[in-house]
Structure 1
């Protein structure tokens, strides 16, 4: 018999980023960036991943074309990146420690669950299916469906709207400082999730987030 779970989170929602938050995917994109830029005679600059992390996928393509002076289309770049990343997300990527258990607990407690991600639409479902999380979410929202990237709160407002929970009762989990700031601007509680891609900004994340965790074994057991 399943143990009883009190409905302590009914009427509340948790919104999760994927890359670097639920998914331990730093190695995937590091490899993609290395292969992609090496094909064009470049090394990956130290600040590249931080610069592109909050952007929409097409914005990343536009930024990359401009930064490296590439004579290619945004669509061509996005297709190549998807092809390079597809195998890793479908077969290799793993979750951060405790993620599956925490999501299952939240679901059973009555909370609404949503994903708010910059990850390409062709990658996010295969990744979530691979790690066994696909069926847990009430909504999966891609940044391509809103006007701005995660430097603005659009995607968090959209996720809250879709799950039917007021922003004040939403808790966001993110690994990126600009995303944490946007979630707080949306009036939501924001937790910083440690990822090596953001380690240079971790002290600042600790100062600005409502709470921080190194993995989901440390995640809050009650939402706002």
Structure 2
């Protein structure tokens, strides 16, 4: 049964309260037809990402709009030069990140990542590597994926990988492949399932881009 806005809002607020890194009185929550909008301010970028992730795990949430602002404590404010150095160091020390392929620029605490990587997990690792750094207000990810593998993508390869996941009901997911792009469509029960389908698609050898058009419908 579809949850009404008030019930879902209460569950989101409770989920945020349950997260030890968050102070729920700092985060505003509004809900409209399954779409949750988060507002307010938090102390760091880590808290912003934690709030978003906490909401995605709730049944009935079909979308998340993250409008949370990061308002750093005075002691946590760093210069753009200091943040650039810290980001470069964090990327270099992460074994999953080919940091020589990434360019870093910082403006007013916002980190922009650019470059070309071979795998999406490397892009995710780059974001995770800088999530906990002091002074970071947000991350703009402009990294592109260009796989080294030249084999043509096939619909069958993607479908086989999706079928192996116990989380997904494969019969409700449709796959289309054009060149180096995988298109996903269909219906799933949660944002977690939608993200999982995209993660699996991104792990396909040779993929350059995943267009995730799956719709979340909670019944």
* Higher relative contact order, chain-length normalized (CA < 8 Å, sep 6+): 1
**Superposition TM-score tier, normalisation by shorter sequence:** under 0.3
Q: Which has the higher strand share?
A: 2
State the TM-score, normalized to the length of structure 1: 0.24
State the TM-score, normalized to the length of structure 2: 0.24
